[in-house]
Chain A
Amino acid sequence: MGSNPTSATSKTLPKALSQVEGSAAEGPPSLTAPTGILGELEAKFGGEAVTPQATADHIPTVWTPVAKVREVLRHLKSGVERPYRTFYDATAIDERLRANPPANLNGGQPTSDFTVVYHLLSYERNEYVRVKVALEESRLSVPTITDLWPAANWYEREIWDMFGIRVEGHPHLERILMPKTWNGHPLRKDHPARATEMGPFAMPDEKEQREQEALRFRPEDWGMKRSSETSDFIFLNLGPQHPGTHGVLRVVVQLDGERIVDLVPEIGFHHRGAEKMAERQTWHTYIPYTDRVDYLGGVMNNLAYLTALEKLAGVRVPPRAQVIRVMLSELFRIISHLVWYGTFAQDLGQMSPVFYTLNDRERAFEIIEAICGARMHPGWFRIGGVAQDLPNGWDKMFRDFIAYLPPRLKEYDKIVLRNSLIKGRTQGVGAYKLDEAIEWGVTGPNLRACGFEWDFRKKQPYAGYEQFEFDIPTAQHGDCYDRALVRVEEMRQSLRIIEQCVKNMPEGAYKATDSRLAAPPLKEHTMRDIETLIHHFLGVSWGPVVPPGEALGAIEATKGNNGYYLISDGGIGAYRARIRTPSFNHMQTLPMLSRGLMVPDLLAILGSIDFVLADIDR
């Protein structure tokens, strides 16, 4: 057991770590009286139009008829005081096979075959709101809200793509993640989840032709002209194989010379059906899949998933496990940012930094490997804790790393951030205005670069972050350079957090001992009595049964707000798992950032917004 000789110094923290409360919700979901935003909505629209629902995450949730949804959302955006300006997420749920529909104040959820769910976020209130729309199978359509939030565009396309719910009035309702030639809508419950259910795969010539033809870009489809009065445009197909796109991203750029007139990012080449897989896995066995969503974020993904799941299941995480989680997550934030740092410089034509930062990352991976045995995708967190305790000598490894990295970062400041060519390439290029960023759902370092001091670790603490001292780095201009500044400073702050973890690691269990949902339960307890032995047997061979309900768990991940919206119908796995990723939003803002600039600027912007294709496509 990795006992820590310095744990006596925990007094240096604002709160003693031994008093940590678990991130679990208090008790089972309870019906709350309509206060706050629910009260405001009811006062405006009346009880008919907005029906509240209690949820495990205590996010105000209302059902509204499809005819009213635009009105309700518009009111939330601009009608209420301290409005919900940020479009956070929109998705759908195929309710047809759900065993335990949620109870609400009117007694049972409305008859619904498909539910469309909108999540909005208000920074002024520091609160989410969830608006749900019930649809019948015979009339699967919702009105578009792209005129309220342009950011809804891709989300609505995804709803159409995945569920076949038509979005009326959408400017370009087309598949977004699946190929245009795909049959069916994958997240419907009647769509096969495995290749073995679909018959053997064949690619005869005519099918190949058809698939290739489907990939042909037609400017007219996107309302683009092929020429202006003075020039013919070039349509440059950047990707899906291109050294500057960091993965299989396709950007079709409309060029006038080297100047970008407009562009269309095309995503989906990295789509692996992560949400569909969740429906086939148990709550426990899905953990390693989350690693691969933001594949540079490692256990940070586990944390997002488990934050939601532990709210739903009401599992308390013991203090030691919390601190281990924070420590590893912050190390992965550094790892992710180091990769970004090097590739960002490389996108600007600077060849060397990527080798330096990847060497540093290697040192961090050595720690991860010593603790978890794996490197990029440890899948190390478990329901109610982590997989194993820290190994002997773990603290020395961290101490060495904490001493090693800062001088290196200082050197990179000289090479990269203070280089005048880099400044010339990035300052004033691809800037967000703060209001734009908020409306488009931009989060993380990209938001903070606009001068908005907002970090979910501070504002909505989870996993015990409230006990740590760290600053929220911000910058002012929101351009490529400022985004870089924020990320570099974040690495230093993460080191601070890790240092506090090392100095104050509490003693105790590394996994919850008081919950039978903690999977797998600690072995020593299973040997004590038949009850826990059976729980162990069921939890491992079958899966932990999570009570029916729903919860959103959103964290400050490496690239921004990563949220898991989990729905349980009382089974051993998710009935529906929605993964809201920051990269998806950020990629959607690419045309806005790049219009009127030049091709090299596009690559600078791509490098600076720091996305991972797997995080976009899931």
Chain B
Amino acid sequence: MISFKDIVAAVLTVVGVLFVALTIAAGLIWVERRLLAVWQDRYGPNRVGPLGLFQVLADTIKLLAKEDWIPPFADKPVFVIAPAIVMITVLFSFAVLPVARNIVIADLNVGLLYFLAMSSMGVYSIVLGGWASDNKYSLLGALRASAQMISYEVFMGLSLMGVVLVAGSFKLSDVVEWQNRNVWFVLPQFPGFVLFLIAGIAETRRLPFDLPEADSELVAGFHSEYSGMKFGMFFVGEYLGVTLVSALIAVLFFGGWLGPVFGLAGWARTALGIVWLLVKTFLFIGFFILLRAALPRPRFDQLMSWGWKWMLPLALANLLVTGAVVMTMSK
């Protein structure tokens, strides 16, 4: 029997996660621009509001107020749906993310598989958006995206299997609890961590894996024809993806909400757990942005051969070794 209290708690969790995720994603627009500016000897947006914080608001108003332009040659329904897909799939993925002990929207026992499935769905957004635009640059971007995502998804899943084997569960809260009992997964599963990090960057199409966008080659790649809030959805979707992958790295490899508790208990301890998760997440978000400031973009074929010739074998080797270790230990 579901009690009224459970329903309120569930609604609060959903609203809370949604609110925090979207706020972070929107705020990242400002964070990224300011951080890049710091690393590039310039100011970045610093005029609107204190420290330029309201820049996000100004950008949003601008995007919302823009003419909702759909090119006459585009495939209209698909063109409209495509940017929504990326938002929806990423937001759905947040459902399985445990933000603190017992605070999670849906603690599925196939949590990780669900996340992988959702991130595969996200590719449709890029491919359909690029296809529906009926623009050669978009098409090339979409082609690159589909090839890149498929290649990097393969070992993304495999890179996590070590964690699953050791923790003995696909459920994310179980993974954290295992780390609570033993040690953060970054130590025993270091190769898995590196592989997942790389796959995560590729999955979110950030430099050096931003080939579907590749502004100096493909203008804006798959979203060349998008403007206004439809472009905004791709934009926010990307930041949501960054947030999600960073949070997942924190949960899977860095103990999620775990951290010094300073003798706190009850709700204060839960709140501190959330803070720890946020801190870890932001560290990785910062790393994502730093990568963008530092690295050039490899060529498409180099990226593919990297994925298939190095990442995939490494992921398999990691799985093999982990499996062997787990087997001998369990005997």
Q: In the assembly, what is the distance between CA of A277 and CA of B41, in Å?
A: 41
Contact indicator B208/A244 (Cβ below 8 Å): no
Residue ID in chain A nearest B210 by CB atoms: A349
Chain B nearest CB, measured from A543 CB (Å): 46
List B contacts of A355 (CB < 8 A).
40-42
**In the complex, which of the residues A242, A419, A598 contacts B300, with contact meaning CB atoms closer than 8 Å?**
A598
List B contacts of A424 (CB < 8 A).
298-299, 302
Contact indicator B298/A346 (Cβ below 8 Å): no
Chain B nearest CB, measured from A243 CB (Å): 6
Contact indicator B296/A350 (Cβ below 8 Å): yes
**Proximity bits, B231-252, A CB within 8 Å = 1, else 0:** 0000000000000000000000
Chain A nearest CB, measured from B133 CB (Å): 14
Chain B nearest CB, measured from A602 CB (Å): 8
- Interface residue count for B (Cβ, 8 Å)? 31
Contact indicator A243/B296 (Cβ below 8 Å): no
Contact indicator A419/B296 (Cβ below 8 Å): yes
Stretch at the interface among B46-54, B150-158, B179-187, B215-223: B215-223
Asked, given contacts A242-B219, A258-B140, whether A351 binds B300 with beta carbons under 8 Å apart, the answer is: no
Contact indicator A351/B207 (Cβ below 8 Å): yes
Q: In the assembly, what is the distance between CA of A210 and CA of B143, in Å?
A: 35
Q: In the assembly, what is the distance between CA of A197 and CA of B301, in Å?
A: 55
Chain B nearest CB, measured from A233 CB (Å): 11
Asked, given contacts A234-B136, A346-B216, A350-B295, whether A258 binds B208 with beta carbons under 8 Å apart, the answer is: no
Q: In the assembly, what is the distance between CA of A258 and CA of B140, in Å?
A: 8
Chain B nearest CB, measured from A455 CB (Å): 30
Contact indicator A598/B40 (Cβ below 8 Å): no
Q: In the assembly, what is the distance between CA of A359 and CA of B217, in Å?
A: 25
List B contacts of A419 (CB < 8 A).
295-296
Chain A nearest CB, measured from B140 CB (Å): 7
**In the complex, which of the residues B40, B217, B298 contacts A352, with contact meaning CB atoms closer than 8 Å?**
B40
> Which residues of chain A from 227 to 273 have any CB-CB distance to chain B below 8 Å in the complex?
234, 236-237, 242-244, 257-258
List A contacts of B207 (CB < 8 A).
349, 351
Q: In the assembly, what is the distance between CA of A600 and CA of B300, in Å?
A: 8
Contact indicator A421/B298 (Cβ below 8 Å): yes
List A contacts of B41 (CB < 8 A).
355-356, 359
List B contacts of A422 (CB < 8 A).
296
Q: In the assembly, what is the distance between CA of A258 and CA of B144, in Å?
A: 9
List B contacts of A348 (CB < 8 A).
216, 296-297
Chain A nearest CB, measured from B27 CB (Å): 21
List B contacts of A237 (CB < 8 A).
136
Residue ID in chain A nearest B137 by CB atoms: A236
- Is B269's beta carbon under 8 Å from chain A? no
Contact indicator B214/A600 (Cβ below 8 Å): yes
Contact indicator B208/A351 (Cβ below 8 Å): no
Chain A nearest CB, measured from B130 CB (Å): 14
Contact indicator B294/A352 (Cβ below 8 Å): yes
- Is A310's beta carbon under 8 Å from chain B? no
Contact indicator B293/A244 (Cβ below 8 Å): no
**Proximity bits, A415-443, B CB within 8 Å = 1, else 0:** 10001011011000000000000000000
List B contacts of A345 (CB < 8 A).
296
- Is A156's beta carbon under 8 Å from chain B? no
Contact indicator B140/A599 (Cβ below 8 Å): yes
Chain B nearest CB, measured from A471 CB (Å): 29
Contact indicator A603/B208 (Cβ below 8 Å): no
- Is B36's beta carbon under 8 Å from chain A? yes
Asked, given contacts A244-B217, A351-B292, A351-B293, whether A425 binds B136 with beta carbons under 8 Å apart, the answer is: no
- Is B39's beta carbon under 8 Å from chain A? yes
21 contacts between A and B (CB under 8 A): A236-B136, A242-B219, A243-B219, A258-B144, A258-B300, A345-B296, A348-B216, A348-B296, A349-B207, A349-B208, A349-B216, A349-B297, A350-B296, A352-B293, A356-B41, A415-B294, A424-B299, A598-B300, A599-B140, A599-B218, A603-B217
A interface, CB within 8 angstroms of B: 234, 236-237, 242-244, 257-258, 345-352, 355-356, 359, 415, 419, 421-422, 424-425, 598-601, 603
12 more contacts with CB within 8 A, not counting A349-B207, A349-B210, are A234-B140, A237-B136, A258-B144, A258-B300, A348-B297, A349-B214, A349-B297, A351-B292, A355-B40, A355-B42, A424-B298, A598-B299
> Which 7 A-B pairs rank lowest in CB-CB distance, beginning with the nearest?
A349-B297, A350-B296, A355-B40, A348-B296, A244-B216, A349-B296, A600-B299
